[in-house]
């Protein structure tokens, strides 16, 4: 079995090693790569958040800025305007933990005051030097993700000598910085699709277990991503089966949390994957 990863998120406690947990994606943006504009209005976003919870999500990850390859940044004020009404409404309607997907400390602080309990930062808190202290101040948990470059340019020929080693070293440094800054509960994300070519993504998924040495739960976000499109030659809204296959592989290779658009379907995939994973592990013991 994995290490003891009993984490408390507000009033909810999860044992992240006991089963795979589901983080539902809620993009409050007009331009996200897969569902941009679908939930841009507050009412629609809140409804989708409630649906994700009903469909079995363990977390809702609310984001107000698209970080797809080539995306433009939005102002702090605009990002706050998008996400805070949604977080405030959801915290009154559902009990599961809310995560804020941002790399800006001012957005994170506003979200934590509104009821979020997790900061999910694509830069592992390197884009904004205040992010560690703000997260620690509110005793929030952190998701630290690897990225090479910035969203606008990250897919312009990223190069690694050894992608798994370099991602691991980066995450180790950021983990130490976060802990030194007072963040107690940390989740690590290798950053599939963030400054990686096709082969880099495949290698990282094959090597997920190597990140267990860092002693934190591993989150993987691969829902509908472009490497699946490259395999299937299909647009984002037709990558459900590809996502399911990649989710299964990531769970069997050591993921603890999967970040997905389709919570109901991927929860079922995770249940079967967990049965295979834990049966094989108990048999090996």
Report the catalytic residues. 225, 259
Q: Retrieve residue 264's tokens.
A: 């109901």
Pairing mode, strands 6-9 and 12-15? antiparallel
Task: Residue 185: name the closest of 194, 195, 175, 193 by CA.
Answer: 175
Residue with structure tokens 């809620």?
26
Distance CA 271, CA 176 (A): 33
Q: Measured on CA atoms in the order 88, 133, 255, 193, is the torsion positive or negative?
A: positive
H helices of 94-180, where? Answer: 105-114, 131-137, 163-180
- Reduced to 3 states (helix: H, G, I; strand: E, B; else coil), residue 265 is helix
- The set of residues, in sequence order, having a beta carbon less than 8 Å from that of 38 and lying 6+ positions away, is 27, 44, 48
Chain-centroid distance, C-alpha 218: 9
Task: Residue 50: name the closest of 83, 72, 24, 31 by CA.
Answer: 24
Judge contact between 266 and 258, C-beta under 8 A. yes
Judge contact between 144 and 124, C-beta under 8 A. yes
- Reduced to 3 states (helix: H, G, I; strand: E, B; else coil), residue 129 is coil
Distance CA 177, CA 152 (A): 26
């Amino acid at each position: 079995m994995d290490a003891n990863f009993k984490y408390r998120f507000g009033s909810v406690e999860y044992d992240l090693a006991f089963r795979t947990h589901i983080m539902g994606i809620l993009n409050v943006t007009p331009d996200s790569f897969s569902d941009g504009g679908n939930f841009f209005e507050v009412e629609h976003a809140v409804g989708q958040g409630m649906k994700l919870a009903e469909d079995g999500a363990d977390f809702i990850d609310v984001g107000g800025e698209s970080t797809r390859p080539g995306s433009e940044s939005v102002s702090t004020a605009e990002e706050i305007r998008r996400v805070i009404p949604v977080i405030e409404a959801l915290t009154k309607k559902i009990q599961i933990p809310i995560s804020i997907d941002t790399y800006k400390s001012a957005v994170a602080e506003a979200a934590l005051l509104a009821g979020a309990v997790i900061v999910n930062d694509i830069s592992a808190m390197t884009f904004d030097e205040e992010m560690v202290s703000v997260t620690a101040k509110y005793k929030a948990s952190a998701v630290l993700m690897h990225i090479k470059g910035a969203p606008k340019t990250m897919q312009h020929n990223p190069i690694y000598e050894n992608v798994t080693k370099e991602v691991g070293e980066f995450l180790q440094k950021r983990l130490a910085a976060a802990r030194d800054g007072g963040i107690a509960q940390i989740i690590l994300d290798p950053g599939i699709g963030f400054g990686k070519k096709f082969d880099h993504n495949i290698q990282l998924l094959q090597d997920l277990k190597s990140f267990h040495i860092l002693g934190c739960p591993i989150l993987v976000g691969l829902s509908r991503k472009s490497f699946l499109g490259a395999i299937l030659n299909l647009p984002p809204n037709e990558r459900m089966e590809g996502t399911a296959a990649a989710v299964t592989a990531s769970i069997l290779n050591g993921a603890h949390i999967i970040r997905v658009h389709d919570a109901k379907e991927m929860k079922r995939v995770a249940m079967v994957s967990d049965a295979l994973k834990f049966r094989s592990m108990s048999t090996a013991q």
